[in-house]
């Protein structure tokens, strides 16, 4: 599902030279509004308020220009200085009021825009967190980050600030145009002859910009993804002397982005100067006609200058409105990518009416399950796996690489479910598919190989699964995990922020933090995925003691390659290379 839009586009691309983005369907503005309006809705009352304030600011500008006309006609031309002071006072007052209203309008528009961004970004992130890790891993993280930043920004520029700007530009346009017509309708008609040219160019340019900016956004996602992956694997790049290759990878993606951005810039930056040419021609026509009107006394000098000022003011909202085509184009491109993220569904969904698992004892059974990854139904990762583990017993799971051990761990925390129409995994006799995934995860703690340390204090890292834990509970968990001594020796003890000032823990210390985290959760079932893998013998020994304490009295599924560790288990499940499970007592008698 997640990959679908690109896959479809790739298929088409086989017999077409255009890029996938050019071929993917554009999202029309109406659809962008329909999909993203719910995140604007809580602030919808502010849209007219911001628009009204900005329009009032524009009205103030109209009034200022009108006062300027009076200044010329009543003070400068007749050389009557007496009328200057009241006019000057009125002009300053109007300018101040107009500045205040414009400020308030723009501030409230920014507030609406930022609150929209906050809501939508949080919603997309919360949707991403409904997806199991495998579904997320299938995507480039950098590309997801680009969708959460640039693409969401572009949607905002249409559905929140775009609405306010368009409405206030439209109303300002009416104000300035009304004032211009009031001053001299023949001049105004001449000036407005340029309007169809604006409209036509806006449409042509808008469509092209939409197409180009979609390609640019796709390339930007690629750059972010490669930079992120490259930095995340920097130790490998250094160790294998592949830094230049990593730089080249980023440069290659960057070149595609450069090409796409330049193509967009050629169109987007050609547009305003072209409009300026139209503006100059329109202005000259007005001056020529204005001079004619002056000679036949149909217009005063102040009137002509005020007219020119209105016209200049009018071009800004006109340009804003025609720039809307660009905004619509970019928002359509961003919307397509964000909608695709939101449409990615989790393969793990609670059944309607699924209840919570409660008061779990820890009797774990697995009956003849088969498990396949998406698109690999012909080659199941696990099949015919059966075992029964009583509360408090330890089941060691062994098997060669690729046999399906980690897949079994994923099933036990419901990152995946067994294939439909096959057996079930039961906890205290309840099929895990019949209860909520959250309650399964409340009963089962997974200790993955990677301790997953966050850039946060040691205390917060330990309390990750129970943020409300008291300081003494956190400390006790660290003591139980044999981590208290090295934590106390850190510069700020439990408040030391990991990763800050280059502070890294050793592999064994990291594991013990993770064990402390598991102690604090204190669930009846544990899944340990190769808890000593990657550690040297002394570090592994330091991890084993706290692990034994952790496992005591808890049903434990222990994935391991270590024969010595497996011998201490109550049961052993051996998975063959093709994912078939066979269970036995450690001594070799079949269960």
Ligand X SMILES: Nc1ncnc2c1ncn2[C@@H]1O[C@H](COP(=O)(O)OP(=O)(O)OP(=O)(O)O)[C@@H](O)[C@H]1O
Residues that bind ligand X (CB under 6 A): 134, 373, 376, 381, 399, 401-407
Nearest residue (CB) to ligand X, 201 versus 449: 449
Q: Which of 7, 6, 24, 19 is nearest to 259 (CA)?
A: 19
Judge contact between 24 and 214, C-beta under 8 A: yes
Helix (H) or strand (E) holding 392: none
Instruction: Specify burial of residue 275 (Cβ count, 10 A radius: 0-12, 13-18, 19+).
Output: buried
Query: Least CB distance from residue 345 to ligand X, whole Å?
Result: 16
| 384 phi, psi to nearest 5 deg | 50, 45
Nearest residue (CB) to ligand X, 405 versus 511: 405
Nearest residue (CB) to ligand X, 74 versus 134: 134
Strands 571-575 and 555-559: unpaired
Judge contact between 381 and 407, C-beta under 8 A: yes
Distance CA 581, CA 575 (A): 4
Query: Least CB distance from residue 136 to ligand X, whole Å?
Result: 10
Judge contact between 138 and 225, C-beta under 8 A: no
CA distances from 297 to 80, 178, 294, 304 (A): 21, 21, 5, 11
Nearest residue (CB) to ligand X, 241 versus 401: 401
Query: Least CB distance from residue 263 to ligand X, whole Å?
Result: 36
Torsion of CA 156, 157, 159, 163, to 10 degrees: 140
Nearest residue (CB) to ligand X, 345 versus 356: 345
Nearest residue (CB) to ligand X, 126 versus 401: 401
Strands 382-389 and 364-371: antiparallel
Query: Least CB distance from residue 153 to ligand X, whole Å?
Result: 32
Query: Least CB distance from residue 397 to ligand X, whole Å?
Result: 9
Query: Least CB distance from residue 444 to ligand X, whole Å?
Result: 17
Residues 6+ positions from 397 with CB-CB distance below 8 Å? 405, 408, 557, 558, 559, 560, 572, 573, 575
Nearest residue (CB) to ligand X, 42 versus 534: 534
Query: Least CB distance from residue 525 to ligand X, whole Å?
Result: 19
Q: In what order do the strands lie in the sheet with 430-431?
A: 382-389, 364-371, 424-427, 430-431
Query: Least CB distance from residue 381 to ligand X, whole Å?
Result: 4
Nearest residue (CB) to ligand X, 42 versus 400: 400
């Amino acid at each position: 599902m997640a990959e679908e839009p690109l896959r479809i586009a790739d298929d088409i691309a086989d017999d077409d030279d255009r890029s996938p983005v050019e071929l993917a369907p554009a999202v029309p503005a109406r659809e962008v509004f329909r999909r993203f309006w719910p995140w604007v809705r809580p602030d919808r009352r502010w849209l007219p308020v911001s628009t009204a304030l900005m329009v009032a600011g524009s009205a103030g500008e109209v009034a200022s220009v009108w006062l300027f006309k009076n200044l010329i006609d009543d003070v400068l031309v007749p050389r009557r200085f007496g009328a200057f002071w009241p006019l000057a006072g009125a002009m300053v007052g109007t300018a101040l009021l107009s500045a205040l209203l414009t400020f308030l309008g723009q501030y409230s528009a920014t507030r609406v825009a930022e609150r929209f961004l906050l809501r939508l970004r949080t919603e997309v992130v919360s949707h991403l967190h409904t997806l199991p890790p495998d579904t997320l891993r299938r995507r480039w993280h950098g590309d997801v980050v680009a969708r959460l930043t640039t693409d969401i920004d572009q949607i905002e520029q249409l559905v929140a600030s775009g609405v306010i700007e368009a409405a206030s530009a439209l109303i300002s346009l009416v104000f300035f145009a009304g004032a211009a017509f009031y001053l001299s309708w023949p001049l105004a008609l001449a000036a407005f002859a340029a309007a169809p040219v604006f409209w036509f160019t806006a449409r042509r340019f808008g469509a092209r910009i939409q197409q180009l900016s979609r390609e640019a956004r796709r390339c930007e996602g690629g750059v972010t993804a490669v930079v992120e992956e490259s930095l995340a694997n920097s130790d490998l790049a250094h160790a294998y002397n592949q830094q230049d290759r990593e730089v080249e990878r980023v440069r290659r993606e960057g070149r595609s982005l450069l090409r796409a951005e330049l193509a967009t810039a050629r169109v987007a930056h050609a547009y305003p100067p072209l409009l300026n040419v139209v503006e100059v021609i329109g202005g000259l026509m007005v001056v020529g006609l204005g001079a004619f009107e002056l000679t036949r006394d149909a217009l005063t000098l102040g009137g002509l200058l005020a007219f020119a000022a209105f016209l200049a003011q009018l071009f800004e909202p006109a340009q804003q409105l025609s720039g809307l085509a660009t905004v619509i184009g970019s928002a359509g491109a961003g919307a397509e990518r964000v909608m695709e993220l939101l449409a990615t569904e989790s393969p793990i969904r609670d059944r309607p009416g699924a209840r919570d698992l409660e008061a779990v004892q820890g009797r774990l059974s697995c009956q003849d399950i088969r498990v396949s990854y998406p698109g690999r139904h012909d080659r199941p990762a696990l099949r015919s796996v059966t075992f029964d583990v009583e509360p408090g017993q330890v089941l060691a799971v062994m098997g060669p690489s690729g046999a399906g051990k980690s897949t079994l761990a994923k099933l036990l925390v419901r990152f995946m479910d067994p294939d439909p129409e096959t057996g079930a995994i039961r906890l205290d006799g309840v099929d895990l598919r019949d209860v909520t995934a959250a309650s399964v995860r409340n009963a089962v703690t997974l200790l993955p190989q990677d301790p997953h340390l966050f850039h946060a204090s040691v205390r917060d890292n330990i309390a990750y699964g129970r943020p409300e834990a008291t300081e003494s509970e956190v400390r006790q968990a660290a003591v139980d995990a044999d981590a208290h001594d090295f934590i106390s020796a850190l510069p700020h003890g439990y408040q030391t922020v990991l990763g800050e000032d280059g502070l890294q823990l050793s592999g064994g210390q990291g594991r013990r933090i993770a064990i402390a985290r598991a102690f604090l959760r204190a669930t009846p079932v544990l899944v340990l995925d190769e808890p000593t893998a990657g550690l040297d013998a002394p570090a592994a020994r330091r991890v084993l003691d706290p692990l034994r304490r952790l496992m005591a009295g808890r049903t434990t599924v222990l994935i391991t390659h270590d024969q010595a560790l497996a011998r201490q288990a109550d049961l052993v499940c051996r998975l063959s290379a093709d994912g078939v499970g066979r269970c036995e007592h450690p001594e070799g008698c079949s269960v």
